[in-house]
Amino acid sequence: MTRINIRHMILAAFFASLTAVLAYISIPLPFSPVPVTGQTAGVMLAGYLLTGGQALLSQIIYILMGVIGIPVFSGARAGIGILAGPSGGFIWGFLPAAYFLGRKLRGNQSKYKKFFVLLVGGILLIYFFGAVQMMIVLDLGLGEVLVSGLLPYIPGDIFKIIFVLMVGSKIERHRILT
């Protein structure tokens, strides 16, 4: 079993806080219960720069902050009800996404491979959890969820991947977190 040291705890807390700050970038869409947010960029940066366990811990901390009432979810919301609502599946998806990214974005990889890993782990994995919960909570079919909860977000999420690649590679190159 790997021990967590104080440095790992600080990094996890930092990326939990970064995800919370990015949640304040929230643009509601009139046709969807899910706003456009910056949260996924925080999840992807955590996975890009931390190990799988550290990235997962950062998102556990983030979710726990919201559950205990700190307004860290999009729209400055908090509470367990958010996690059970139509957009809660996306937040639950942060956990496997962060872990997956932290495990797969290791070592010297081309920017194309990193882009693909971020697409799969940072977007598709989160979309999967979000879509399933939207279908259950709102009693929608897959087609309705695609139109209102997934497809409109793809351009912004591609932008977030490019942003994460640029920022993550700079941090990595300058060894800021090492």
Helix runs in the chain, H state only? 6-23, 39-49, 52-67, 80-84, 88-104, 111-117, 125-138, 142-145, 154-173
So what's the pLDDT on residue 106? 86
Q: What is the pLDDT of residue 54?
A: 95
CB 69 within 8 A of CB 79: yes
Report the amino acid identity of residue 123.
I
Domain boundaries, the chain: 6-173
103 CB neighbour count, 10 Å cutoff:
16
Residue 143 CB: number of other CB atoms within 10 A?
Answer: 8
- State the pLDDT confidence band at 33, using cuts at 50, 70 and 90: confident
Q: How far apart are the first and last CA of the chain?
A: 22
**pLDDT tens digits, one per residue of 61-92:** 999 999 999 999 999 999 999 999 999 999 99
In this structure, are residues 37 and 73 in contact, taking their beta carbons and an 8 Å threshold? no
Distance, in Å, from the CA atom of 56 to the CA atom of 140, rounded to the nearest integer, reads 30
pLDDT band at 122 (very low <50, low <70, confident <90, very high): very high
Report the pLDDT value the prediction gives residue 96, as an integer from 0 to 100. 98
Percent of the chain with pLDDT over 70: 98
CATH classification of 6-173 is 1.10.1760.20, yes or no?
A: yes
pLDDT tier for residue 41 given thresholds of 50, 70 and 90: very high
- Residue 2: pLDDT band (50, 70, 90) is low
Partners of 37 in beta bridges:
26
- Is it the case that residue 107 has pLDDT exceeding 70? yes
Band of pLDDT at residue 165, cut at 50, 70 and 90: very high
Separation of alpha carbons 122 and 94, rounded Å? 8
Burial of 5 per CB tally in 10 Å (0-12, 13-18, 19+): exposed
| 178 confidence band (pLDDT: 50, 70, 90) | low
